[in-house]
Amino acid sequence: MTSPSPQSTGKSAELGTADIAQKVRRLQKPRTDLGRHASRLIHVLQKRALARGGDSWSNATLARLRRAVQHPVGADPAVWEFLFEDLPEHCFGKGDDPSPDERAVHAAATLYAVHQQSKDRPMHVDGEGFGTAIRRLANPQDAAELAMPVLRRFNALATADNLDEQLHHARGLVQLMRRESIGFDYGTFAEDLARLQDPAHADAVRLRWARQFHRSIRPAARADKTESAPQPA
């Protein structure tokens, strides 16, 4: 009986981990009306921004969103139509304060605009978890040690007890990801930001990020390790 060659074994391992990664991405796609709304509007903006260097609408919209990144929700009329047109009715607030969903879509879209600035590749990546992106930032090329400044900022985000503080740390991480061209799914991120504002669901968001961080699937790196591993005699 012929034994599989190291090359074929490595290729099989790569295909296997790639299949798993694809399944994980499908599971991590937005599941709520809010998440699908955020994903849809950012996808449209990104597609136009990356087509031949962007058009006047996408460039102007990204600039307005970047200017609004630290503004309160509702403070900048220039972004209202983009953020709230076709937002499901139940996501809107009822009183004077913005709803958690309104805050979340505002935060996700403005952070995306910061992330995408001057980039020629998509920073909104369907199915890529926020925790997975942080792992790639903290552990490039499967380095032996995690980058402690990234890990400290991630921990600060996870332990922050209000949205303003959480967004401060998230903005710092996004700026680092932008430098390294690491993207993630802003639809699921909007869902996460909405749930972080609910004490009943905040710990579940943190747990999901922790799982993504510690279970990140890196098909190419794992295949390389399989190919370089000693083969039995």
The pLDDT, as a whole number, for residue 155 is 96
* Segment 81-85 mean pLDDT: 96
Question: In the structure, what pLDDT confidence band is assigned to residue 126 with cuts at 50, 70 and 90?
Answer: very high
Residue type, 220: A
Q: Do residues 24 and 217 lie in contact, with contact meaning Cβ atoms separated by under 8 Å?
A: yes
> In the block, which residue shows the tokens 């295909």?
15
Q: In 3D, which of 226, 230, 231 has the Cα closest to residue 13?
A: 226
% residues pLDDT > 90 (the chain): 71
Q: Do residues 117 and 171 lie in contact, with contact meaning Cβ atoms separated by under 8 Å?
A: no
The pLDDT, as a whole number, for residue 223 is 43
Q: 27-218 adopts what CATH topology?
A: Peroxidase; domain 1 (1.10.520)
Report the alpha-carbon distance of residue 131 to residue 144 in Å, rounded: 19
91-114 pLDDT, tens digit per residue, is 999 999 999 999 999 999 999 999
The pLDDT, as a whole number, for residue 19 is 55
* Segment 198-204 mean pLDDT: 96
Residue 144 confidence (pLDDT) above 60: yes
Report domain extents, the chain. Answer: 27-218
Query: Please, which contacts does 161-169 make with residues 24 or more away whose CB atoms are closer than 8 Å?
Result: 163/103, 163/107, 163/193, 163/196, 163/197, 166/193, 166/196, 167/107, 167/111, 167/193
The residue with greater pLDDT, 226 or 160, is: 160
Neighbours of 219 (CB within 10 A): 17
Residue 232 confidence (pLDDT) above 80: no
What pTM value is reported for the model?
0.81
- CB-based contacts of 198, cutoff 8 Å, min separation 6: 100
Residue 169 confidence (pLDDT) above 80: yes
Q: Do residues 154 and 173 lie in contact, with contact meaning Cβ atoms separated by under 8 Å?
A: yes
The pLDDT, as a whole number, for residue 17 is 47
Burial of 51 (0-12, 13-18, 19+ CB in 10 A): exposed
For the chain, the average pLDDT equals: 86
* Segment 31-43 mean pLDDT: 96
Report the alpha-carbon distance of residue 79 to residue 62 in Å, rounded: 10
